[in-house]
Chains A and B, each alone.
Chain A
Amino acid sequence: MQLSTRHLLGIRDLEPQDVQKILDTAQQFKEVLQRPIKKVPSLRDITIVNLFYENSTRTRISFELAEKRLSADTINFTASGSSVSKGETLLDTVNNILSMKVDMVVMRHSATGAPHFLSKRVPAVIVNAGDGINEHPTQALLDAFTIREKLGTLEGARVAIIGDIMHSRVALSNIYLMRKMGAEVMLSGPPTLIPRHIEEAFNVRVEYDIDKALAWCDVANVLRIQLERQNQVLFSTLREYSQAYGINRRRLDKVGRPIHVMHPGPINRGVELDSDVADSGHSLILGQVENGVAVRMAVLYLLSGKS
């Protein structure tokens, strides 16, 4: 029943059956979250630290809620206001926290590979909540859960990932996961935001014409334009981006059949996604957030067995 890995560092390390186990377990946790008492005692002997070196709203709250619903003890650490500003290293910070008998570390860091680095040096179970431009595995898992809920299966599902592929850890985790589970993936966005040769590297399609990508897909996973990670000009203005690649009602109407629209949040309204789509019946965005708690409960539960 346990996963084939001790940590969740990325979707890259998971076997398809691991993904299956996580999604199936999350299904049962989703039912738990509908009960009058939305809590199970599974992790009452486990202490988890949420180590956030980068800003987060959804992921941090979602993990914290998942931990509480599993009866784990939780500690929250954010880099601002901590001794990080006094120059303490990541390893020192974590070792100090672990000496207070912590079993699992949920971490987000702006440096790619930070959780991998820690996993080789500390005895705790590490869960990656986003590292730099590498992976955001739990986001991909909750996206997959949401798609499976809507379409019944991931096998053969046509998923378009639209926008800033280059800087998006959500995109990379989603590509790994969708390909592992037999979904077809098309990447769409400006050529400057899609890495070259990504088709061959990941066996995905690339379509620079957003309307063609929408016409092809069942699900459009729209990514946020990550201005904070771009240190060069990759498109001229946000207004131009919105006109050429933004998802709006007019574009969806042109497709002539319903497409499910997802977004990992936070949305730049009016840039990659218009409000009339984000708040419409096409949108699965709030469903994604709801499923996030169940999926994270499943991940924590399945990783707790090896501690």
Chain B
Amino acid sequence: MQDQTTIMDKAQLELTLKRLAHQLIENHHPFNDTCFIGIQPRGVPVSDFMIDYIRGLYPGLPIDYGKLDITFYRDDIRERLHVPSETNLPFSIENRKVVLIDDVLYTGRTIRAALDALLDNGRPSKVELCVVVDRLFSRQLPIHPDYCGRSIDSIVTQKVKLIWGDHPHVILYDAA
């Protein structure tokens, strides 16, 4: 990982995640019609943080929050098999608004798979997408975020990664 650039440090990232959480509150409070779903594996730390934050602001308010694994819905299975993670949706999504939460939006293929996986669990009235980083001009499918932390320009050989741990941050590096 030479030539890596930090595009968001811990403070910036937390600020962005809190801003996204407030946007979700603005549009969805008091959440009785809405459920939040983190996309496995990398969207889940993001959604964990945001949901913890929202729950902190509204203690006692029930918020439906689940995790969705999309491994079996990927369109690149014949090229490479991926390790499946846990799916846990302990609520019905039927006729409710669903907010999908992920870390980086790139080609849009993960979200396509997530929509398929989601619809196998019921028919939501509306699906929205919330991402921390939107990589512009790289989409391969007509998919756009409703809530976006940061939009960046990047080229195909570069990768964007959100790193968790004691000092969460977002980096951009050359993968070639």
Contact = CB atoms under 8 A, between A and B. Distances in A.
Nearest to A306: B81
A31 B87 contact: yes
Interface in A253-307: 301-302, 304-305, 307
Contact of B81 (A37, A39, A70, A305): A305
A29 B119 CA distance: 17
Interface stretch (A40-48, A173-181, A241-249): A40-48
Interface residues on A, range: 20 to 34
Contacts of A31: 86-88
Given A28-B71, A28-B87, A301-B72, A42 B120 contact: no
Contacts of B88: 31
A64 B80 CA distance: 24
Nearest to B71: A28
A149 B64 CA distance: 27
Interface string B79-103: 0111111111000000000000000
**Interface SS majority for chain A:** loop
A302 B82 CA distance: 9
Contact of B85 (A28, A40, A41): A28
Given A36-B121, A36-B122, A28 B84 contact: yes
A305 B76 CA distance: 10
Nearest to A40: B72
A40 B114 CA distance: 12
Contact of A42 (B77, B85, B121): B77
Contact of B120 (A1, A35, A302): A35
Given A36-B120, A37-B120, A39-B120, A305 B86 contact: no
Interface in B110-156: 116-117, 119-122
A297 B83 CA distance: 14
Contact of A1 (B80, B87, B119, B121): B80
Interface residues on B, range: 20 to 34
A35 to B, nearest CB: 6
B73 interface: yes
A1 B83 contact: yes
A32 B82 CA distance: 16
A39 B122 CA distance: 13
A1 B72 contact: no
A2 interface: yes
A177 to B, nearest CB: 21
Contacts of A112: none
A95 interface: no
Interface string A1-43: 1100000000000000000000011001101100111011110
A119 to B, nearest CB: 20
24 contacts: A1-B80, A2-B81, A28-B69, A28-B71, A28-B84, A28-B87, A29-B72, A31-B87, A32-B87, A35-B120, A36-B121, A36-B122, A37-B120, A37-B121, A39-B120, A40-B73, A41-B73, A70-B72, A302-B81, A304-B78, A304-B81, A305-B77, A305-B78, A307-B78
Given A31-B87, A36-B121, A302-B81, 20 more contacts: A1-B81, A1-B83, A24-B83, A24-B84, A25-B84, A28-B69, A28-B85, A28-B87, A29-B72, A32-B87, A35-B120, A35-B121, A36-B122, A37-B119, A37-B120, A40-B117, A40-B120, A42-B73, A304-B81, A305-B77
Interface of B: 69, 71-73, 77-78, 80-88, 116-117, 119-122
